[in-house]
Amino acid sequence: MKKTVVLLLILAIVFVVVKIYAYYPLYNGKIIPTPQKVEYMNEFIVLASSASFTRMVKIIVGTDAMPQMNSVAGSLQSHIYILTGSTPAVVNDMVKLQEHSVYISVGTISDNKYNKEYNNNKFITQNYPGEQGYIIRCVKEGSKDVVYCIGYDAIGAFYAVQSLLQLMYVKDGKLCLRKCVVDDWPVYKLRGVSDWALTKDSLDWMGAYKLNMFFFAYAPVKWDNIDEDMKKAYTDAYEMVKQKPVIELGQMVNPYDLRKYRTGEKIRASDPKDIEKLVKTFTYGINAGVKHLMLCADDLVTMKEREYILDNDEDIQKYGTLEVAQTVLVNTVYQSLKAYQKSEMPKLSIEMYFCPPYYSLGHVDKFMRSPEVGIKYMNYIGKNIDPDVTFVWTGPKVTSKVVSDDDVEKYKLYTLGHKAMLWDNTSDDIFTPWTTKISTQVVEMNPRHGFYYNAFINRVVDRFTILMVADYLWNPKAYNPEKSLVHAVATYAEQDAMPALSSFREVYYKLDDMKVNLSEYADPKKVFTDTESELDKAMDTVSKQVVNNSVAPDLKRRFYGKQKVFLRLFNEKKVVVCDTTKNVELRLFSNVGKGKRTYETKVVISVDSTNLRLTFNCETTTYQPIEKVATIRDAGVYLDDSIELFIDPNKDYKNYYQYAFNFTGTKFDGKERVSNWDGTWDVKTSTYTGYWTAGMVIPLTELGITDGVQGKTIGLNIVRNNPAEWRSVEWSPMKPYSSHTPSLFGEVRFE
């Protein structure tokens, strides 16, 4: 059972909350991300009063202010309007300040004379507080109250205002601001997240909590011919970012990824036309103001005998090894993009990133067959890839909860000190403190002090964790996981919602724990039914009590909905009885579209004293055959027309085997999710007009069955992958769950 999170701490903290149905923060008297230096006072400035808020604070912007100050003043105006229904006036720095009035002066010392006069070289200096830094001062000048939001630069001025917004609330007909003294700046200068597209809501949210780098995720991008939807996504994001220029755009492209389109070829570094296509794909991003260009080679480079290899004759003949080919690829693409940017977008500065196939220390030391091969690869690219290109790594593991000083030193040793940015894959539980421990040396691994957190910003519930990560990246020394969670939840939910969020979390993970411990329950269906009632009640309470009107729907759709689907699939999973003296036939059907007939996959199972035997007849009459992708063992056979077989021999819902093969007989096997296990099974395939067939034999001893199958029940599922239709079909339905969900496998009962 997962440990109960310290959400009870939240219940002990009383927040003064205003119900705001937007991204804007609820008041809790603190700023998040936590400032470097801050003093909160138990005094408040009344920014506006009276029932109609006609007596309103004024915003001072410099006469010669940079265009970015429009966004700064605009965010102040918008927030105050949401709180009061009235919009404060914006005045320039030539006006004389009136007695008995309240002003917020925004900008830098160079574009606002009031900021310059107040600063008087005391606070903002040539080197302090530095890039993106700012100060806030609340000053009484005679009968006037003046709040100075002074940025070291334009972005710092914007962040000063975002901090100020978190200290405003309405009470008894007054718009109040908690007084404070703040000196602030970020430790990590680039703080990135991603999604398929950038929305206005996500842009505003990122700006409010000081995240400043957005990557378009690479999965929807066809590397050699970007589609119109993605072009539009880039263009739309560019237009939005121009209105809020604190966000920098990034683009990911993986020229080895054929998953979405299932057509075409992986890139060949030796083919100038391939290079030209990839460069053109990146230039669509550059034309849309993309500064951060990431060439990804993670996960999808071909493997042979647990090592990444070149898989085309042209590259093998010209370059010999993967590291040489990819070095040429990265350097050629980077030089081409620099030339394009200089010619077509001279005001835009670009940064290039490369995510190699060996992107964690574990890929070098543990996952692969020979560490020497990975070390040789990393040494070569570290020495020969352009030093201006930033490598991407995930730490000691793919998902690293700890990145130590030793890990950093080892990575530097492998890459010969090449600069790098950490890509964090930790996806913590909902409403749970983010507790990843990261060496202080990580921030110095690249000059821009960049960090990418692999989470999708448009997923509202995920923002609780994203906000904790933002808190850490801004001020690692002050980061406190439990307190950060308190502040993160407070941006969305008022005090009365805290017990509901805690209760939902507990029952949600109670179900998750049950899934992997089903063998402990005499009647799993009854236990699931009882727990489902608890889940329904918890979701209903959250829906009624969460203030932000986008949180409950996202929670219901993604988390509550996911569990409800699981419970339905569990209750409906298929069961077949197999007489050990006879064959049993299973059928898988897939409807390939309106008005089209289904294609069928017929499976016959038989068993004897030593082997489990399966034969397959796989129709292909409804689509045109495509070229095979996988030709060597443990490569991506699932990208082809293929079969995947999952067996849980002890029906313990934990220890299972995966067997897969494509229509040419290329094999893949693994134990649970680890692919470095090789079995002794056999498969033979044949192809015909309109169908292909396979015969498969698995020794029972390989499954740990030594005393026959009579009276035994095993977990089993079969998946047919059809790349021509970009779909797969399962014997016992599991979607949207992964095929690696043994609690949803069907059952075969041997009699």
Q: What is the CATH number of the domain that holds 378?
A: 3.20.20.80
In angstroms, rounded to a whole number, what is the distance separating the alpha carbons of residues 78 and 244? 14
pLDDT attached to residue 439: 97
Nearby residues of 465 by Cβ (< 8 Å), 6 or more positions away: 427, 428, 430, 432, 434, 455, 488
pLDDT attached to residue 515: 83
Residue 648 counted as domain residue: yes
Q: Which residue, of 441, 461, 489, is where some domain finishes?
A: 489
In angstroms, rounded to a whole number, what is the distance separating the alpha carbons of residues 578 and 560? 36
pLDDT attached to residue 18: 35
Contact 253, 295 (CB under 8 A): yes
Q: Residue 41: pLDDT above 90?
A: yes
Question: Both 175 and 273 in a single domain?
Answer: no
Q: Residue 218: pLDDT above 90?
A: no
pLDDT attached to residue 475: 98
Nearby residues of 317 by Cβ (< 8 Å), 6 or more positions away: 270
Residue 391 counted as domain residue: yes
pLDDT attached to residue 723: 73
Question: Both 557 and 582 in a single domain?
Answer: no
Q: Which residue, of 554, 572, 590, is where some domain finishes?
A: 572
Among 10-14, 171-175, 346-350, 581-585, name the most confident range.
Answer: 346-350
Question: Both 329 and 408 in a single domain?
Answer: yes
How many domains does the structure of the chain reveal? Answer: 4
Q: DSSP readout, 622-688?
A: TS--------STTS-GGGSSEEEEEEETT--SS--EEEEEETT--EEEEETTBTT-----EEEEEEE
Q: Residue 273: pLDDT above 90?
A: yes
Amino acid making up residue 344: E
Per-residue pLDDT tens for 460-504?
Answer: 899 999 999 999 999 999 999 999 988 888 876 665 667 788 889
Amino acid making up residue 362: G
Q: DSSP readout, 76-123?
A: HHHHHHHHHS----EEETTSPPPTT-EEEEEEETTT-HHHHHHHTTSS
Question: Both 593 and 623 in a single domain?
Answer: yes
Contact 216, 250 (CB under 8 A): yes
Question: Both 450 and 582 in a single domain?
Answer: no
Residue 218 counted as domain residue: yes
Residue 375 counted as domain residue: yes
pLDDT attached to residue 417: 96
Q: Which residue, of 489, 507, 525, is where some domain finishes?
A: 489
In angstroms, rounded to a whole number, what is the distance separating the alpha carbons of residues 749 and 751? 6
pLDDT attached to residue 715: 93
Per-residue pLDDT tens for 669-710?
Answer: 999 887 778 899 999 999 988 889 999 999 999 999 988 888
Residue 27 counted as domain residue: no
Among 12-21, 61-70, 467-476, name the most confident range.
Answer: 467-476
Question: Both 562 and 453 in a single domain?
Answer: no
Residue 396 counted as domain residue: yes
Question: Both 585 and 708 in a single domain?
Answer: yes
Question: Both 256 and 228 in a single domain?
Answer: yes
Nearby residues of 268 by Cβ (< 8 Å), 6 or more positions away: 274, 312, 314, 315
Nearby residues of 362 by Cβ (< 8 Å), 6 or more positions away: 396, 397, 398
For the segment 299-324, the average pLDDT, to the nearest whole number, is 88
Q: Place 369 in a pLDDT band, splitting at 50, 70 and 90.
A: low
For the segment 621-632, the average pLDDT, to the nearest whole number, is 64
In angstroms, rounded to a whole number, what is the distance separating the alpha carbons of residues 545 and 498? 9
pLDDT attached to residue 11: 28
Model confidence, pTM: 0.85
What does pLDDT average to over the chain? 88
Q: Tally Cβ neighbours within 10 Å of residue 521.
A: 12
Q: Residue 12: pLDDT above 50?
A: no
CATH at 631: 2.60.40.1190
Question: Both 524 and 473 in a single domain?
Answer: no
Question: Both 232 and 303 in a single domain?
Answer: yes
Grouping H, G, I as helix, E, B as strand and the rest as coil, residue 37 is strand
Q: Residue 441: pLDDT above 80?
A: yes
CATH at 72: 3.30.379.10
Residue 301 counted as domain residue: yes
Question: Both 629 and 544 in a single domain?
Answer: no
Which of 128-142, 173-187, 579-593 is predicted with the least confidence, judged by mean pLDDT?
A: 579-593
Question: Both 367 and 242 in a single domain?
Answer: yes
Whole domain around residue 480: which residue ranges? 190-489
Contact 213, 248 (CB under 8 A): yes
Residue 26 counted as domain residue: no
